[in-house]
Structure 1
Amino acid sequence: MFTTDKRLKRSTISRAVAGAIAGVMAMSSASAQQTSALDSEEEVERIFVTASKRPLTLQDTPIAVSVTSAADIEQSKIVDVLDLQVLVPSLKVSQTTLTSATSFSIRGFGSPSGIGTEPSVGVFIDGVFRSRAGGAISDLPRVERVEVLSGPQSTLFGKNASAGVVSVITSAPSFVTEGRVEATLGNYNQRRVKGYVTGGVTDELALSFSAGINRRDGFVTSLQAGVPDQDDRDRWNVRGQALWEPTPDVSLRVIADYSEIDEICCSSPNVISGPVNGIVLALGGIVLDENNPFARESVLIKAPTNDLEDGGISAHLDVDFAGFSLTSITAYRFNSLAASNPVGNSSVDTSTSVRDIDIRAFSQELRLTSTSDGPFSWIAGGFFFDEEIESTDALEYGPQLRPFVNLLTGGGLVAVESALGFPEGTFYPEGISVSYAEGQDNKDYSFFASADYQLTDSLTLTGGLNYTNDRKQAYVRETSNDDVFSAINFNTLAGGAFAGLSAAQFRPPTVSFPNSLENGKSDDSDTTYLLRLAYKLNENYNFYISQATGFKSSSWDLTNFSRPSSSLASALDASGENSSNPMYGSRFSSPEYSTVTEVGMKVWYQNFQANLAIFDQSLDDFQVRSFDGIDFFQANAGKTSVDGFEFDVRYSLNKNWTFTLAGTYLDPIYDEFENAPPGPNAPLDEFGNRIPEDLSGTRPLNIPEKSMVAGIVYTTSFDTADMYVRADYTYESALVFAPSGSITANNPDFTRQVNNLGMSAGLHFDNNMSVQVWGRNLTDDENLLSVYGQAGQAGTVGAYINQPRTYGVTVGYTF
């Protein structure tokens, strides 16, 4: 039955793709006939990209790549990488518990955030790999373009790009003196100021400097006196560059940047209230209406804080020799986070999670690229990456945790305390904490090469290889645990008479690693490849077919939920290293492998451009990580696949009107996933742990079947000014957040369909002054972004919600 369904879906895809191709061919024919409607002297600017590590036009690049230009970014008021998804339908960016807890996915797949989990979507800024989202979410500097590459890119990007790449290319210093300053005011007290200045110091040296401040009040109003509103903006950044060109053949570009984020993030209203609501009310707390999460109100007793610092320096050297060029990119990055979050979405002070993370990374890429004429061209290089992560975190118990647990257990806390002979107040006293230290040392190197051979003037064969070796040494240590109650094994005490109390044990002692059975080491290597045949029919049409593989190394759970496998229970008992109250789970995901077969077409006319890619992508041992309010689970899905297509079309009716349409269709499935994170009602094993579920044959979570972005831009000129008006509409088809059997299954409150309209209009005057008015989510679309079990509140489900309608005005001056 499953095979038949899959064949039907693929038949539907084939028909849809055939229709799309026919439509593109028809539109391009019409485009050719209408070219004369444009001014014959007017040329559409060809977009050059470096997705293939060579400067090629977008239409000549046989890769599925979406390009967002500087003009698109400026007109649409794209501020950071999170905003890009309103223009690129294949890219999705989600943000959850922390500002830095951001994850990227392309074509539906990417890795969830976590300091021990590297991204499946690699983020590169000016060629420098950002290993964690916290190093890529600051406001964008002066950007030349952003390229989003779909599918594995291992043969050209040296580190973990198994699902795709987001490549941000910023503007280099100019030898001509110029600059710009702009200020923005908007609703929610939005205040944003940014600017840059650049110019030549000598004939060989040019400098640039840019800076920005971005502040905004929170979207979510706090109902607690003295607690600030949540989901605000408070960040600033500075960036300096030097470009030295001593000869026509040598160029050295040095970039230094620093940014800070200090924000109250991220709110998560309850959408299902569990049995603890009565306890919260009994303790004098406040309970919000679960049926109205978009009231955007918070009852948190403390504000969740996120203090993030990010910075680094990089040197980009390019040297031209006879027949080839040398590129060297050397970078050092640092990123630190200090966060404090009250546990659960509650108005009572039960506990607070505190975390400090420090990441240091050095990377070096060397690349040789052929420059001589001829049918054969090549790229060869190497990449080295050395990263060290150090983290500490603690759960600090608040004054209302003891009465909360006592009421939760029907007075059992005090009764058991007395029955077992503990002094009154021993269990869950205020002020104690459970503390941990986590870290990882990662060394990665790779060698890569690709070559193009022109079989004929129209036909080009491309082959590429990448060998990667990735080594990690990870650790998680429990440094202190004063929780006496959670250290007791109630499942065995008095023949299990008190087993029901185990649900109220929030921090049982954990088994640290490395230990005698778990060395905390992973050593992974793999060779990935690219094969592609590209056919250039003429100056207007290009076709290609390719197959590429990708690889992502092992991931460790570097949190206090990191637990050994139950298969080690007996050996841990024998070694004396087991906990007094053993809890088992997962803390390791083996490497992830991807393969994508793709057919693509690119069309270019003066007033019409189109790109289409049809793909079949599979992921073996896809790394999965989830949290249900009680535990984190880390696992590998045996095999996951997605069929689909993506396209983007740009049509210029005349010199004033431009229409764009881009879309993605995805049909993903877990072909094999027998060890999936268990649901809240899953049966228990002999150790009291929930048994993993079998999700084979089900659709992965939170992936819309259809995504689309449509845009219209009107430009014109007056005697004293240039004007534009722009509208961008984003659509995502309805999806259900959870699979069958889960607490949110088939509940219409836990589905999402996106209908989002953004608009902007601007005038640029001859005196170099400019003014823009803009709005985001003008439809005031209300959608859940994700749902999850609230921490420490069995039966309670929380959700993250989208941003409300925003609007503002921007005034700038260019010189």
Structure 2
Amino acid sequence: MISRTVLLASAAGIALLASPAFAEDSAAADAATASSANNEIIVTAQRREEKAQEVPIALSVIGGPEIDSKGAFNINRLQQSQPSVQFYSSNPRNSAINIRGLGAPFGLTNDGIEQGVGFYIDGVYVGRAGASTFDFVDIQRVEILRGPQGTLYGKNTTAGAVNVTTRAPSFEPEGRVELSSGNYSFMQAKASVSGPIVADTLAARLSASYSKRDGTIDNVRTGEDLHRMNSFSTRGQLLWKPSSSLDFTLAGDYNWQNPLCCVQYYARLAPTQRPLARQYTALAGAFGYTPPTKDPFDRVTDLDADLNARQTMAGVSLTGNWDLGPATITSISAWRNWDWSPANDRDFIGLPITTVSANPSHQTQWSQELRLTSNGKTRLQYTLGAYYFHQKINTNGVQVQGSAASRWLLSGTDASNPNVLNGLTSTNTIRFSNDSFAVFGKLNWEPVNGLHIQPGVRVNYDKKSGYYDAVVSIANSQYNFTATAANVQAMLDSKTGTAKTTFQNQINTLAPQHYEPHFDDWNVSGDITLSYDFSQDIHGYATYAKSFKSGGINLSGLPLNSTSTGVDLTTQTVKPENVNHFEVGLKTQFLDHKVTLNLAGFWDEIKDYQTTVNANAVNVIRGYLANAPKVRVRGFEFDSAFRPSDRFNVYVNGAFTDAKFVKFTNAPCPPELAGGTAPTGTQVASPAGTAGGISPVSCNISGQVLPGISKWSVSWGGEYNVPLGGDGAEVYFGYDGSYRSRFSSNPSPSAYMYIDSYSLHNFRLGFRRDHFNIFGWVRNAFNEKYFELLSTQSGSSGLIVGQPGDPRTWGGHGQARLLIV
């Protein structure tokens, strides 16, 4: 019998929003996460349930209802409310999550490197940031931990962790449904159902989500709209509790995305040191080519290559908890799979320069974590763990040059012969194997009331093996050959005169390469935190951490030697990062918990910082990894909330981040210093932007800023509600804003590669009562024009391309929770 059912929507509600949906009241549905009466939030950041305000870690918690109300249904949108989080994505695979500017190198993804920010789903580490871009569905909370977490979490994380917790199966039958729609034909539907199968022993939960939206960019060449949204996610869980002290959760998920994306196109021009006849304006004029617009915010492009960004993600995990009384044993066994099927236009314009650029990739990972955690509030608490992670990645890529490539990329007589590069193809076979094993532990000792001493240690072993083989071939009316790394020198020696020059141009454009990099290393890291409870509502802490980010291998091609046709094998591997982290913080609540103010200051010194560099070459289209000798990141953060009554609340969060290369004397140069001739003898480099000038071999960028990091980042907002009658119904108005100051979008700072500061403003107006919620929303309400990324076209043409952020969008959303007995 259904004793209580919340109806999905009324006709009046449909008429009001023209896009109905249904929802629950946030406080009622997620009482396990937060108590609205005293503003206490419970987290598991330290592997046990604790009040967030008492955890001596800089952290943020976003509950499921807050995610829904802000439209933050994936990690990209979540960053707008988290000033210390940076998320970059030129397509789902080329995604990176950074915290305080650290985590992953800024630029295109290289499979052979570790993440510095761990992304976890119900305790399972996700080995690639691209596999974390799924839509959130049935989420209880997201915890964002800032700073090294390697002594608490299975996989080593030097910059922080994003810990996603889904709603567990319930022994109280319930259903949830959400619907949203908006402009650009946006439609999103989410639903979940949970309840007992065997009373008090076996329960299940099934959740699903589907999202679709038209694109925000028009391709005038194909008639397609780009940057679409098209995704489906489902997750199932079984909870078995054979006794009050033992439980097992079997979970499985499948996620599919097929957006027609992702594009970057004409943003601006930067003068380089190539001869003027070989820079963008002259080259485009030689073809009679003009882009459909030079204003990127007209959202129009003419890309001529196929585009695709399809990916599937799936996983199975088994989590067991055995309460022994003094302690709990937790085991997490997991398998995850990720398939990536891309197609890109890597010349970024409507000419057949690079007609195919795709690196389809398949990843599988297995992990096992075993953890022992003390129970209860005792003088000595502990967490001890062991972790094993195995990952394999197989990639079979291809790059093909088109009929415009010779003129665009070459000089001399070969530039006027399309056949020199037309059809030139590099077929790449890439393999990667990664094994990691660690034991870790952390103590929490309270020698006297209020004083906590928390040392932690981690012993880690990493082994990485790679295989990279690029075979270059061409088959057209004038040229036919197949070149491998093994035979290219013999082929070069067999040619003379212009034939030798042409062959040299061909293999310098797409170089045959073969190398098998290997890396393995042990490291010991640790941390110690001193914290003191000045009162029930004031807590201070100080932390020092010695952390390591595992070394890596380059798996996107290597730069060529300057004196031969071979590749530079000295760049096969990159050293581990060595991080010294210092942090102090204060967590406070006052006025009967109506006001929360948390402060944190941090200072990180990183030796052998791992960075993506781009030598503006064609043959290494994705850039390669290198070590900068020393980097420093320092700053402070604040999180504040004011809730004077149940009717009104506001928040302001901010971060100041000062991130610089302390020492990097041999960095690749920015585009305005690239493309010229190499200096010989006593020659010195020409001033930046000198056409036909002399380019330095490398540049000293010591003292300059790291890419992707805004010095200032702030988020703010609030909500005001007015009661309707005495039955809990209310009308409410909500607002969320965010601001980022300008930041560099190039590994080496360039005067032409800064993204200007911008602010975003989101509004919502709705009605809720008990387990029903319906509201209208506007995102980017003032239609701010901003870039998410800027990149350079290969070959030093001077073209800067950009990926614009979403324009103004609007629509309606609603949720409902159904209780069934």
TM-score exceeds 0.5: yes
Aligned residues: 738
The 1:685/1:440 distance shift into structure 2, 3 A limit, reads farther
Which runs of structure 2 are paired with 1:292-691 in the superposition (5 Å)?
292-350=295-353, 351-371=355-375, 374-398=378-402, 400-401=403-404, 404-406=405-407, 412-413=413-414, 427-430=420-423, 433-482=425-474, 507-514=509-516, 520-559=517-556, 561-563=557-559, 580=565, 586-605=571-590, 606-627=593-614, 629-630=616-617, 631=620, 632-680=623-671, 681-682=673-674, 684=678, 691=697
Match of 1:265, SS? coil
**8 Å CA contact 1:635, 1:677 repeated in 2:** no
**What does residue 3 of structure 2 align with?**
none
**Equivalent residue, structure 2, for 1:11:** none
- Aligned residue among 714, 717, 734 for 1:711: 717
Q: Shift in Å at residue 584 of structure 1? A: 7.2
Tell me if structure 1 keeps the 8 A contact 2:455–2:528.
Answer: yes
How far does residue 769 in structure 1 lie from its aligned partner after superposition? 4.3
Secondary structure in 2 matching 1:537: strand
Match of 1:13 in 2: none
Deviation of 1:504 (Å) = 7.3
Partner of 2:100: 107
Query: What's the counterpart of residue 788 of structure 1?
Result: 791
Q: Does 1:150 align with 2:146?
A: yes
Q: For the residues of structure 2 that align with 1:799 and 1:700, how far apart are their CA atoms?
A: 19
* AA partner of residue 509 (structure 2): R
Task: Give the CA deviation at 1:229.
Answer: 1.5
Query: How far apart in 1 are the matches of 2:663 and 2:651?
Result: 38
Q: Is the 8 A contact 1:276 1:408 kept in 2?
A: no
Q: Does the residue aligned with 2:328 lie in a helix, a strand or coil?
A: strand
Matched with 1:38 is none
Q: 1:580 to 1:529 in 2, by over 3 A?
A: closer
SS at match of 2:66: helix
Aligned to 1:165: 161
Which residue identity lines up with residue 72 of structure 2 in the other structure?
Answer: I
Aligned to 1:696: 702
Shift of 1:280: 4.3
Tell me: CA distance 1:675–1:685, structure 2 relative to 1, closer, same or farther (3 Å): same
Following the alignment from structure 2 to structure 1, what is the Cα–Cα distance between the partners of residues 785 and 634? Answer: 29
Contact 1:562 1:585 in 2 (8 A): no
1:714 CA displacement: 1.5
* Map of 1:255 onto structure 2: 251
Residue 83 of structure 1 aligns to a residue in which SS? helix
Of residues 198, 203, 218 in structure 2, which corresponds to 1:206? 203
Asked if residue 72 in structure 1 is aligned to residue 66 in structure 2, the reply is: yes
Provide Cα deviations, 1:732-791, integer angstroms capped at 9, x if missing partner: 223454598x6x41x5x844112111112222245x543221121112111222322113
Deviations 1:113-164 (A, max 9, x none): 3322221111111111111112110001211111111111110112231111
Cα offset, 1:299, TM superposition: 0.5
2:180–2:812 Cα contact (<8 Å) kept = yes
Residue 255 of structure 1 deviates from its aligned partner by 1.0
1:237 shift after superposition: 0.8
Please say if residues 510 and 583 of structure 1, whose CA atoms lie closer than 8 Å, have aligned partners that are also in contact.
no
1:757 maps onto 2:770 in alignment = no
CA contact (8 A) 1:627 1:633 kept: yes
Summarize the Cα distance change of 1:616–1:583 in structure 2 as closer, same or farther, 3 Å threshold. closer
Indicate the larger mover: 335-344 or 383-392: 335-344
Moved more, 485-494 or 313-322: 485-494
Q: Aligned pair 1:726/2:720, yes or no?
A: no
Tell me, in whole angstroms, the C-alpha distance in 2 between the residues paired with 1:143 and 1:629: 43
Residue in 2 that maps onto 1:9: none
Task: Please give the alpha-carbon distance, in whole angstroms, between the structure 2 residues aligned to 1:251 and 1:183.
Answer: 33
- Tell me what 1:773 maps to: 776
Q: 1:450 to 1:414 in 2, by over 3 A?
A: closer
2:688 maps to what in 1?
Answer: none
Query: Please, which of 82, 88, 95 is the counterpart of residue 88 of structure 1?
Result: 82
> Structure 1 CA distance, aligned partners of 2:307 and 2:372?
48
Between 537-546 and 492-501, the greater mean CA deviation after superposition: 492-501
Distance 2:492 2:661 in 1: 35
The 1:580/1:643 distance shift into structure 2, 3 A limit, reads closer
CA distance in 2: counterparts of 1:408 and 1:524, whole angstroms: 41
CA distance in 2, matches of 1:726, 1:414: 59
Instruction: Give 1:805's aligned residue.
Output: 808
User: Letter of the aligned partner of 1:456 in structure 2?
Assistant: V
More divergent stretch after superposition (683-692 vs 619-628): 683-692
Q: 1:496 to 1:618 in 2, by over 3 A?
A: farther
Residues 180-208 of structure 1 deviation map (CA, whole Å, 9 limit, x = unaligned): 11221111111111111111111211111
The TM-score, its normalising length taken from structure 2, stands at: 0.84
Q: Which of the numbers 41, 49, 56 marks the counterpart of 2:43?
A: 49
Gaps of 5+ in 1: 1-40, 418-424, 515-519, 570-578
CA distance in 2, matches of 1:710, 1:305: 36
Q: Deviations over 1:221-279 (max 9, x none)?
A: 111134x2211101111110111111110111111000111112222122234834554
The one-letter amino acid of 1:732's match is: R
Give the Å deviation of 1:410.
7.0
Residue deviations 1:589-624 (CA, integer Å, cap 9, x gap)? 211121211111111232111211111111111110
Distance 1:302 1:201, change over 3 A: same
Shifted more, 677-686 versus 726-735: the winner is 677-686
Residues 445 and 221 of structure 1, relative CA distance in 2, 3 Å threshold? same
Kept in 2, the 8 Å contact 1:154–1:549? The answer is: no
Amino acid corresponding to residue 82 of structure 1 in structure 2: N
**Could you tell me how far 1:373 is from its partner in structure 2?**
5.2
**Cα distance, 1:414–1:313 mapped onto 2, change above 3 Å:** closer
Secondary structure of 1:649's match? strand
Q: Which amino acid in 2 is paired with 1:596?
A: H
SS at match of 1:437: strand
CA distance in 1 between partners of 2:702 and 2:580 (Å): 19
Q: Is the 8 Å Cα contact of residues 485 and 505 (structure 1) preserved in structure 2?
A: no
Distance in 1 between residues matched to 2:234 and 2:744, nearest whole Å: 41
Amino acid corresponding to residue 778 of structure 1 in structure 2: A
Q: Which residue in the other structure is 1:222 paired with?
A: 219
Alignment of 1:728-747 (within 5 A): 728-737=736-745, 744-745=750-751, 747=752
Describe the SS at the equivalent of 1:455: strand
Q: What TM-score does the superposition give when structure 1 sets the normalisation length? A: 0.85
Q: Would the alpha carbon gap of residues 732 and 407 (structure 1) be closer, same or farther in structure 2, given more than 3 Å must change?
A: closer
Give me the whole-angstrom Cα distance separating, in 2, the residues matched to 1:407 and 1:752. Answer: 30
**Distance across 1 between alignment mates of 2:659 and 2:647:** 40
Report 1 or 2 for greater relative contact order, CA contacts < 8 Å, sequence distance ≥ 6. Answer: 2
Residue 562 (structure 1) shift: 2.6
RMSD: 2.9
Per-residue deviation, 1:434: 1.5
